[in-house]
Structure 1
């Protein structure tokens, strides 16, 4: 329903989104957003989302939407990111379907109250942790993976809550497609898609949701501040510099293939892509040569003509990346910059830690290579920087892998490959210093649930528990102290209360 009038407020909450052809597309007005939140709140309070069968129906509908409209998603992502069909199907649609199917299979188990260890005073009682839905949550997607980063967290939200979803304004065609399709598949009172500009999101957050989920670096701090004003819990998945160490003991051909794929798929626009290589000096020349050969195999002599190579999302991000590139290191592969096509695949060497490309976050197909003399130097370099979202290490020496995993801190770690750890439903994905919280599989369900401590007890054993009540007597205190000492010796059986 787009009939709501514009807000009389002078504040511009939502900018008109524009397609490449320049026509304004649908936008969500503030009054409409308030109404959608109200409708979702009423639906949640009525218990509409609580039954397992409702949640399963919604998850199955989400899978059906992806299957029935695969071509539409391929077309939308092709328009927004020049994304190859293969990348869209495998890393957007199948990734979301895997999450939904995993949730469908495990939802009953996740919803069941979890019993916990009892103690002396609760021997005849039930001690449970109950996963209780939070309510109405707000999910803001990323333009890097506009389907995956909207719908994977939505799977976790569907498994418990109502939700408002805001796709990225940068990927306009994908946002419009989600806005058009979701009402046909998901419950129209519980789940809504809004179209808004990223700079307006903090004001939406202040409407007071029960949880806010946000991916991408832009505006992350503002989102957190806005959520703090209403004491709203947040999950922030923010980008950072992701180091990739290449040891002298590694299979160069396989290593370079995997790194090149991770750096250049989706035109390098990924929160999880390696940001730079810390290459052992002994193998640097071989790595550079292998990269040249690998990129030729992947994309041919001119990647602009390859159907497997995407484009950057807009001129603003392209220009930012180009400016950093021109002021850093030495180009050894690529370097051809085509503004009209937002095309810039490049490998740099002779990069210094102080170069602009190392000082700012880069979302694009640019791979700097720095030299290190050993694993100690690599670990020291990583630990000097802000804690990364991902750390990667390539080596056939298990001791090297163990050292980097244990002696560095990051949101996730992967040895001898890249990005895959962030796609697995069984592993949590999130940052340490770059953001807070995690998602995927059960971790998504728990992100959007409150774990309620529940003690179900009767009125028996009053002959023992009366010791805690006034008037306080020394005799009662002695008995309580004795019970505490006894419980400590018997491994966790706490005092009689």
Structure 2
């Protein structure tokens, strides 16, 4: 079966599908407000009506509980659609901007123009959310889209393909399933914009491929997102929110706390409290707890197991190779040169480091690439201001984890090696549109100072453009 799939991939480069979408886009059919709203309504309907099937798919792929499946792969999609529908009319209006005295007689506006044919490549950890929320932006922006879900979550991928096929025509939105060969074939085609969510190494491949056609890209990547527990933190609340944010979906979240810095004065108390909070969430036997997610596949499971070699296991560490369950695990005595501190963990392992001064933490974090997220627990306003001012990161939360990505009012995205561009809410609309600048000039008069033949023109221009 796999060989047959590869044969089919080699025989198709998806030119006809992309050409059909380009023709449909150029017809202007996708651009009206009424059309966009109808498509968003259709998407809302198909997601809400198929909630049970979506939850079953993520259960099969990742052993997600109903709670985690709904929160991570249904609720955010429905909320995003509702938010976008409420504001889309306003966003679509041309935006008038001020005109300087140097442009007397003219008016300036920004038009939000759809890119055209978009490629959306989504990952396996939140397969529905990370396929459909970018698609919402593409629809709101007036585009067409090719959606390529991850083959590592096959049940979710098959359902995504089915839902899209039942909801949209291929010339408007099409889902193309498959593995690396399919991704490569699509990346070799000419798109007007590529939206990719995934790992840093694959993000580099996507960007390199896009550069051949000078295609604009949005990269939602990852990295090592630090969490800082200041001496003034509310220990119990911090421990509960770290446990929830880190081990939600078994740590397979791009913005999960990747490692912890805990102030030495509260380290022992915090670790003990964190252990208690993990047990409250996932019991003393997480390997057999039905509401605890499992690792996506054997390769990632083996990679995570190898990260346990060296540091001390303070809590957890047990695994089940048959089910790919991996206990919530806390590591201490961690060397900064250990692999667990060199690569994004993307699993239920939490290394804990201690610190004396906040300046020390800032210096250490800034030695590494800019993280996708940062979390700080503190009751000290000056510490909060110092961290925000001195550490660059994509986004984050003070006294919480993960929740910043759930509001459509905040842009979500990385910086540097953790990503490029942002989305959610109006930022999704902007992500899938080009800001086209238009100056409209009067014909009632003509300022002669713009012409070099006018006497004294240069001196006037010097004065105006100071």
Q: Given the two structures, how large is their TM-score scaled by the length of structure 2?
A: 0.95
| Deviations, residues 123-161 of structure 1 (Å, cap 9, x unaligned) | 443310000001000000111111111111111000120
Residues 1:236 and 2:219 are matched in the alignment: yes
Secondary structure of the residue aligned to 2:371 is coil
Distance 1:207 1:51 in 2: 27
Secondary structure of the residue aligned to 2:427 is helix
How much does 1:121 deviate?
A: 5.4
Residues 1:339 and 2:321 are matched in the alignment: yes
Corresponding residue for 1:214?
196
Corresponding residue for 1:204?
186
Residues 1:459 and 2:440 are matched in the alignment: no
Distance 2:305 2:146 in 1: 35
| Deviations, residues 413-436 of structure 1 (Å, cap 9, x unaligned) | 211001111221111111111221
Corresponding residue for 1:481?
459
Residues 1:45 and 2:26 are matched in the alignment: yes
How much does 1:85 deviate?
A: 0.7
Distance 1:366 1:419 in 2: 17
Secondary structure of the residue aligned to 2:322 is helix
How much does 1:188 deviate?
A: 3.5
Which moved further from structure 2: 118-127 or 232-241?
A: 118-127
When the two chains are superposed, the root-mean-square deviation of aligned CA atoms in Å is 2.0
How much does 1:483 deviate?
A: 5.1
Residues 1:138 and 2:119 are matched in the alignment: yes
Secondary structure of the residue aligned to 1:430 is coil
Corresponding residue for 2:71?
90
Distance 1:392 1:457 in 2: 49
Distance 1:392 1:69 in 2: 34
Is the contact between residue 13 and residue 186 of structure 2 (CA under 8 Å) also seen in structure 1? no
Corresponding residue for 2:338?
355
Distance 2:103 2:359 in 1: 52
Residues 223-262 of structure 1 aligned to structure 2 (within 5 Å) = 223-262=206-245
Is the contact between residue 58 and residue 187 of structure 1 (CA under 8 Å) also seen in structure 2? no
Is the contact between residue 27 and residue 194 of structure 1 (CA under 8 Å) also seen in structure 2? no
| Deviations, residues 336-383 of structure 1 (Å, cap 9, x unaligned) | 121111122211011111111111121110011011112111111111
Residues 1:330 and 2:308 are matched in the alignment: no
Residues 1:444 and 2:428 are matched in the alignment: yes
Distance 1:26 1:165 in 2: 21
Distance 2:97 2:430 in 1: 17
Residues 39-78 of structure 1 aligned to structure 2 (within 5 Å) = 39-78=20-59
Shift in alpha-carbon separation, 1:27–1:176, aligned structure 2, 3 A:
farther
Distance 2:464 2:132 in 1: 52
Corresponding residue for 1:7?
none
Corresponding residue for 1:162?
144
Corresponding residue for 2:93?
112
Q: Which of 392, 396, 414 in structure 2 is aligned with 1:413?
A: 396
Distance 1:64 1:32 in 2: 32
Distance 2:210 2:238 in 1: 42
Corresponding residue for 2:378?
395
Secondary structure of the residue aligned to 2:111 is strand
Distance 1:119 1:127 in 2: 10
Secondary structure of the residue aligned to 1:341 is coil
| Deviations, residues 148-187 of structure 1 (Å, cap 9, x unaligned) | 1111111100012000001111111000001011121234
How much does 1:305 deviate?
A: 2.3
Is the contact between residue 26 and residue 195 of structure 1 (CA under 8 Å) also seen in structure 2? no
Q: Which has the larger radius of gyration?
A: 1
| Deviations, residues 443-469 of structure 1 (Å, cap 9, x unaligned) | 11111111111112231212xx23333
Is the contact between residue 16 and residue 27 of structure 1 (CA under 8 Å) also seen in structure 2? no
Secondary structure of the residue aligned to 1:62 is helix
How much does 1:481 deviate?
A: 2.5
Corresponding residue for 1:292?
275
Distance 2:378 2:337 in 1: 27
Residues 1:301 and 2:264 are matched in the alignment: no
Distance 2:298 2:215 in 1: 34
* Alignment size in residue pairs: 462
Gaps of 5+ in 1: 1-14, 18-22, 489-497
Is the contact between residue 287 and residue 319 of structure 2 (CA under 8 Å) also seen in structure 1? no
Which moved further from structure 2: 429-438 or 25-34?
A: 25-34
Is the contact between residue 314 and residue 331 of structure 2 (CA under 8 Å) also seen in structure 1? yes
Q: Which of 156, 160, 164 in structure 2 is aligned with 1:178?
A: 160
Is the contact between residue 135 and residue 162 of structure 1 (CA under 8 Å) also seen in structure 2? yes
Secondary structure of the residue aligned to 1:260 is helix
Is the contact between residue 201 and residue 223 of structure 1 (CA under 8 Å) also seen in structure 2? no
Distance 2:40 2:458 in 1: 51
Shift in alpha-carbon separation, 1:367–1:413, aligned structure 2, 3 A:
same
Shift in alpha-carbon separation, 1:27–1:151, aligned structure 2, 3 A:
farther
Gaps of 5+ in 2: none
Q: Given the two structures, how large is their TM-score scaled by the length of structure 1?
A: 0.89
Distance 1:401 1:24 in 2: 53
